[in-house]
Amino acid sequence: MKIIKPVLAFVVASVCSLTVWGQNSPVMPVGSVTNASIEGQQVTLTTDQNAHIRVSVYSPTVVRVRMDKQPLTDDFSYAVIAKPQQMKASITQNNTDITITTDSLTARISKNPFAVAFFTKAGKVINQDEQGLTTSWIGEEVTTYKHMQEGERFIGLGEKTGGLDRRGSGFTNWNTDAFGYRTGQDPLYTTIPFYIGIHSGVNYGIFFDNSYQSDFNFGASNDRFSSFGAQGGEMDYYFIYHTKVADIIRSYTDLTGRMDMPPLWSLGYQQNRYSYYPETEVFRIAQTLREKKIPADGITLDIHYMDAYKLFTWDKNRFGDPMAMNKKLKDMGFKTTVIVDPGIKVEEGYGAYERGLKEDVFIKYVDGKNYSGQVWPGWTHFPDFTSPKGRDWWKKEIKFFSDTGVDGFWNDMNEIATWGQKMPNNVLFDYDGHTTTHKEGHNVYGMQMARASYEGARQHNPNKRTFLLSRAGYSGSQRYTAIWTGDNRSEDDHMLLGIRLMNSMGVSGVAFSAMDIGGFTGNPSVGLYARWIQLGAFTPYFRNHTAVNTKSSEPWAYGEEVTEIARNFISLRYKLLPYIYSNFYQASQTGEPLMRTLAIDYTHDPNVYKGEFDSQYQFGKAFLIMPFESGKNYGKVYFPKGKWYNMFTGQVEQGGQEKIIGIEYNKLPIYIKESSIIPMQSLVQHTGQKPTDTLTVHVYKGDVRNSFVYYEDDGDTYNYEKGGYYKRTISYDPKRSTLTFDKAEGSYKSNFNNIKVVMHGFGGSKVKVNGKSQQANKDFASFLDPISRFDPQGDANPREGYEVQSLVVKNDSDKFTIKL
């Protein structure tokens, strides 16, 4: 067989390397297999170094490897919710190795010493342990070393700074309150120990499920291996193999879960500040947004809404009647999100504190005394969110906000953040009945806080979607919350870093992400703010936010021209909500993100990893977004394979080329991929307003087949879980030059009675609908109207665009085909 030769070489080299390990080495190797048993889809092994190992087939494309110095007992994870699939896997062994074969891959386990290698069905190496190192322990620290393949690249790990390709870098996972972080700082707020390796035409994923401080090395300070390890706990990883990166993301989110459909309002523009108070200031902001015709759906209240920073309180002087305020905001089309920090002030008579003491929910030292740390309110206790009792207490407490008309919870300071940034390791966490220390509980704390908030919101409003945002998290947090990139800076390099951070989170299972538009710390220049808000329109959660000691950062704070730029791009986002919402549906089904690094679809194109291009990304599969620093008049871009339409002019660029383009102050460079299908609606000022009853579907002529799953529901309830949705697949066939709308699925009635099909690049005036000829109309494609360019006299130029053809048809739920 083709796979035998490389495996034998691997085994021989591994045997020869055994002599390196000394009897008294401080590094304990995993050792050689002394006993191996096969049961169903699982292999159980022990070694001469008393290592205990279990290798199980989770699915045809996922293999799990567990090992520890202790016998493997309880199998517990906050991240993994999937169970192994019952399937047929061939597992055989001889004196030297064990072979696991599925319909997708082959795993070969060497016995002397223990080592694992993964191969394609054709015998090509996908990933293998580094010969002579494999897995070992230094005290309680456990690390697995992988052979670094020639030309291998690494992407993922979630919220990590640096370039798209992680090769040559090392990273640490320890959730950290990283105020005003540097562009190369590590670690940041969130832990996602999942990465994707790419080399020689293959790609694979590795998810290391261990919540201790973990370290990943992709050839940093060595030219031999990549590695992943943790300061304690098991070596427990899932190996995932697919030919496409999108399918690796799908399998990873099969394991760790996917997001619910978000409330529709959370996809609109959000106006935040640290802080808006008193309520008259909140109303001033809301009213100004409406007066200036800047669409918006949300206003966020930071810590100054509380009484002396005490959670589950309102400052009665600043917010005398929060229920009435929130109702008035709702009447204006705004939803209110409030910040919630985990720390509960130690103060006699403070309700939350007294109730927490009574129900014994706070994290404790090993001697039973409640742990106290200083945060905004002063000395505080912290609920143990890894305890069912602690989560249940929190669920009851957050009813306080539901009762005052709050629609969103912003979980902050949940790394855990305390003044001094040195929470003691000898405090205990329940860890759902697996009592442990801060060392293991730290990285999951923010995730479990978000979980308690999510479950509490659903408990109090069972059929209403509540928006959740979190700063800290762990793998699987996407089941509960969106995540944003924390306290960034008002600098060009932070704007571009934020793009890469969100792209990395998208490839790591977090489809709903955000950065603070304009930067949190400092004051952006007019040009930087203008560019940043243009980019913000093409991010999953569109959040404008700035710190307490900065100048105002609402769009009108930067002058009339920037106000117009902001209005144009925010308005464009609202027109694109049918496209955006449909892409969120895709994320809820497959884990594929709305914000897509080019490495997802152009994985083996080396140009997408170059530093000059690695901030480019796709927004869905249709849009190619090209971020640039403010103040640039020209820039180099890369067009991947295919044809790309300039969104503003309709001009076509051929893919596979680098090009210098002009950069306009008022327009972000945006291109649309050939064969794309983009549903849009008329402009609304908030998602509570109904658009006109015509859905506009743009289709771009191309040479490749394409389909788009269009999706609607009520945007507010969980009725979609019971079939309350409207879904249909729209397909473009270039050979037949047809656009087909499949029969609609679901019990929800579409919001649109008519469909206007806008044809880009087709020409001609005759089309056929279900075989009947119809006259196409001349139309004008203008995505920004009016375009924000002002001459010295202050007069706006006429709208920009180009001629296209269009056709209006009734939105019949039955299948129909248009011959273009």
Catalytically annotated residues = 412, 415, 487
787 touches 797 (CB < 8 A): yes
**Residue that the structure tokens 């394609």 belong to:** 120
User: What gap in Å lies between CA 170 and CA 151, rounded to an integer?
Assistant: 17
**Best CA proximity match to 66, nearest among 197, 168, 207, 263:** 207
210 touches 140 (CB < 8 A): no
Torsion of the alpha carbons at 187, 190, 191 and 194, rounded to the nearest 10:
-100
User: What gap in Å lies between CA 238 and CA 66, rounded to an integer?
Assistant: 9
User: What gap in Å lies between CA 287 and CA 277, rounded to an integer?
Assistant: 15
User: What gap in Å lies between CA 563 and CA 788, rounded to an integer?
Assistant: 9
**Which residues fall within 8 angstroms of residue 48, CB to CB, at 6 or more apart?**
31, 32, 34
Judged by DSSP in three states, 639 sits in strand
User: What gap in Å lies between CA 579 and CA 571, rounded to an integer?
Assistant: 14
Structure tokens at 260: 């619910």
Structure tokens at 592: 């594929």
User: What gap in Å lies between CA 721 and CA 718, rounded to an integer?
Assistant: 6
DSSP labels, 589-615: HH---SEEETTTTSTT-GGGGSTTTTT
Question: Helices 279-291 and 322-331, interaxial angle, to 10°?
Answer: 0
Cα 420 to the center of its chain, rounded Å: 29
**Which residues fall within 8 angstroms of residue 342, CB to CB, at 6 or more apart?**
382, 383, 385, 411, 413, 414, 416, 445, 449
Structure tokens at 302: 């930071």
Radius of gyration of the chain (CA): 27
User: What gap in Å lies between CA 618 and CA 604, rounded to an integer?
Assistant: 16
380 touches 372 (CB < 8 A): yes
**Residue that the structure tokens 């690796």 belong to:** 248
**Which residues fall within 8 angstroms of residue 317, CB to CB, at 6 or more apart?**
278
Q: What separation, in Å, do the N-terminal and C-terminal C-alpha atoms of the chain show?
A: 51
Q: Which residues pair with 202 in a beta bridge?
A: 199
- Given CA atoms 79, 83, 88, 94 in this order, what sign does their dihedral have? positive
- Which amino acid is present at 532? W
User: What gap in Å lies between CA 601 and CA 609, rounded to an integer?
Assistant: 13
Question: Helices 492-507 and 526-536, interaxial angle, to 10°?
Answer: 10
**Best CA proximity match to 242, nearest among 252, 232, 257:** 252
Cα 551 to the center of its chain, rounded Å: 30
Structure tokens at 220: 């940093």
Q: Which segments of 260-352 are extended strands (E)?
A: 270-271, 298-301, 335-340, 344-345
271 touches 299 (CB < 8 A): yes
